[in-house]
Structure 1
Amino acid sequence: MPREAEPSINERAFVLQALEENIRLDGRALDAFRDIDISFGDDYGVADVQLGKTRVLTRISASIAAPYPDRKFDGVFTIATELSPLASPAFEVGRQSDLETHLSRILETTLRRSQAISTESLCLVAGQKVWSLRADIHILSHCGNLVTAASLATLAALRQYRIPDTSIKGGELTVYTPLERDPVPLALLHHPLCITLNYFENGEKMIVDATLQEQQCSEGEVVVAANPQGEVCLVQKGGGGEVDALVLLRAVDVAVGKVRELGKVVDRALEKDSKMRDKGGISAELSAENER
């Protein structure tokens, strides 16, 4: 199986020496993100996130399906990840890598198991028909910190997605097209995001949003999933030796602050997208009415 090209001994020594002096090769502060760009497709539920040179696209889709026998009143929400060879030579088609498994499990815990989506709101006919919601996550470019980029793209897509409106009359389910009725937003109970912190010097030094080279030079990483209200959904340490409990607490504290920062970025992107879609629509009419 192909592997990522490892940094040379000189490159590793250079990165570590720079970090000892609190310097990162791209000039960022230790707790700073790379440039973030969030854009949306023409259809609802398509979010394209660029975090530096890392790029992730998430597409949300919905279909009507039968509920699970033991959860007759709950809809279905699944997450699928795809790591394409276009993103990195280390990825193979049709073969799930450890990174893909790691990414899927973290996003499952962050979004599905934390009940970010109200699955009860996806129920159409109890025990018979529910919405089956699916998030397809495509990794387009891998240059470090895939977990944060993927969680950002998925949350943005979920918040922007609109599901077809429905009604039941005489026991018959009717699904309306967007021309018949405006689709409705998903019922999201909270907005969790993942923050990855890579640590050095036995956890004494941590950096946010590591590049691929910084990841490869680090001793390990801590992934924290939380929402802007400060509720922690997940703390996972991967690789490296032991770290003190106080280091993990510090990592959680930093991560919660960064989740709030990213949450505002998503809010601004959604607001911008909403204005573009509503250009000349009802908001413009209301504005014109106010001016008169």
Structure 2
Amino acid sequence: MEQRLANCVQLTVNEKQFIENALLSELRVDGRGPLEYRKLSIKFGKDDGSAEVQLGETRVMSFVSAQLVQPYKDRPNEGTLSIFTEFSPMADPSFEPGRPGESAVELGRIIDRGLRESRAIDTESLCILSAKLVWAIRIDIHILDNAGNLVDAANIAALASLLTFRRPECSLGGEDGQQVVVHPPEVREPLPLILHHLPVAVTFGFFSNENLVVLDPTYHEEAVMTGRMTATLNANGDVCAIQKPGEQGIFQHIIMHCLKLAHVKAGDITAKIKDAVEKHNNERALQKIKRRSSSVSVDVCGTTARLGGKQNQSGGGKDNSHLDQLKPKDEANFMECDATSSGQVQINKKDEGSKNFTGGPSSWYGKKDPYSECVNSDLLKAPMDSEC
């Protein structure tokens, strides 16, 4: 079989027989069942339209960008969509740098067919000026680590990046109303893309035995299987596209059974993508909120504040401490500190009969220092006694 979308790993005869015999017992090398998916993780970058998906050990990164171009003559009111893939040798030694190979082209076509044929993206909303300017959406897919089933991982990464992408808002101006003005994000909030549904790709692997069918094949299983089928469906069960490379024939009832399984898996993956995107949007919204400091500044020269409130009673278990409203005070009054046993400090007005504090060392002679009232003498004696 022509090894498409797979690695060129060479397994021994014993390794191949071990994988097939384990599948006959409904077991897989990584411990999963034949129809179980690997753990899916979706992360987003700082820039809008960037996403990284990890499916098991397979890692794929996707980035969406847009630019204003002239539309096609046969579709003057619709934007365009293009997908580019990059297979780095760091992801798999069998990948060659430079011009995209056959596997990279086929990967891009599978994802493009699922999005384009199902009309998932509203291309008419990308039109700015009919027959003159439309938005061209570009999806760049980078393979970071190949551990099997690149199609599903790349498809999920493309969908996640499309949901988080924001394009600049445009308006028409000028004397003739044909001048396009692109507003930066600081002036106007960028607009998201309109997606009618999410076409999710689900890949099945077939082996020489007709009864052996696995979901989400791994790196080693791709080297053993003799055929594959990728079914692209949405959460409603609509079939968007089907791709079947390989020479092995498949019975009709097996295909229908795979489509039913793909419908269930597509619904689960769609829910995970939406949950991850919603969480990401909430985090972005919180970062844009400008928060003010909750601290209250107090002018001790012109106002009097009561800090700490009432002390806890011996019989009560609740803390009744609060901050009273600030009240103006006369210049003749000053704040007196009373040290409490619980460590709280209360600031109260001095009694009316007390004299005003004028300041200066000469006024302290023969009088009690007003600042010494805030100091607990027992606490000062404690360290002196311990040293002796």
Verify same fold: TM over 0.5. Answer: yes
Superposed counterparts of 1:29-48, under 5 Å: 29-48=33-52
Match status 1:180 vs 2:187: yes
Q: Work out whether residues 148 and 195 of structure 1, in 8 Å CA contact, stay in contact via their aligned partners in 2.
A: yes
The separation in 2 between residues aligned to 1:197 and 1:242, in whole angstroms, is 14
Match status 1:144 vs 2:161: no
Runs of 4+ in 1 over 3 A off after TM superposition: 280-285
Q: Deviations over 1:92-130 (max 9, x none)?
A: 111332211221111110112321111111100001111
What does residue 214 of structure 1 align with? 221
If the length of structure 2 is used for normalisation, what is the TM-score?
A: 0.70
Secondary structure of residue in 1 paired with 2:286: coil
Pairing partner for 1:236 from 236, 240, 243: 243
Superposed counterparts of 1:1-292, under 5 Å: 4-169=8-173, 170-279=177-286, 281=288
Residues matched between the structures, number: 283
Counterparts in 2 of 1:278 and 1:25: CA distance versus 1, 3 Å: same
The separation in 2 between residues aligned to 1:202 and 1:68, in whole angstroms, is 48
- State which structure, 1 or 2, has the greater radius of gyration over its C-alpha atoms: 2
The separation in 2 between residues aligned to 1:16 and 1:40, in whole angstroms, is 37
The separation in 2 between residues aligned to 1:213 and 1:240, in whole angstroms, is 19
The separation in 2 between residues aligned to 1:283 and 1:115, in whole angstroms, is 39
The separation in 2 between residues aligned to 1:45 and 1:211, in whole angstroms, is 28
One-letter amino acid matched to 2:236:
Q
Q: Gaps spanning 5+ residues in structure 1: where?
A: 286-292
Counterparts in 2 of 1:253 and 1:284: CA distance versus 1, 3 Å: farther
Higher relative contact order (CA 8 A, sep 6+): 1
Q: CA deviation at 1:175?
A: 1.0
Q: Work out whether residues 85 and 100 of structure 2, in 8 Å CA contact, stay in contact via their aligned partners in 1.
A: no
| Greater helix fraction, Structure 1 or Structure 2 | 1
Q: CA RMSD in A?
A: 1.7
Out of 96-105 and 19-28, give the one that drifted further. 96-105
Out of 272-281 and 114-123, give the one that drifted further. 272-281
Out of 165-174 and 262-271, give the one that drifted further. 165-174
The separation in 2 between residues aligned to 1:250 and 1:282, in whole angstroms, is 49
Q: Work out whether residues 202 and 219 of structure 1, in 8 Å CA contact, stay in contact via their aligned partners in 2.
A: no
The separation in 2 between residues aligned to 1:174 and 1:144, in whole angstroms, is 45
Q: Work out whether residues 164 and 178 of structure 1, in 8 Å CA contact, stay in contact via their aligned partners in 2.
A: yes
Secondary structure of residue in 2 paired with 1:256: helix
The separation in 1 between residues aligned to 2:257 and 2:227, in whole angstroms, is 15
Q: Deviations over 1:237-284 (max 9, x none)?
A: 221421111111111111111111111110111122112212255699
The separation in 1 between residues aligned to 2:290 and 2:76, in whole angstroms, is 39
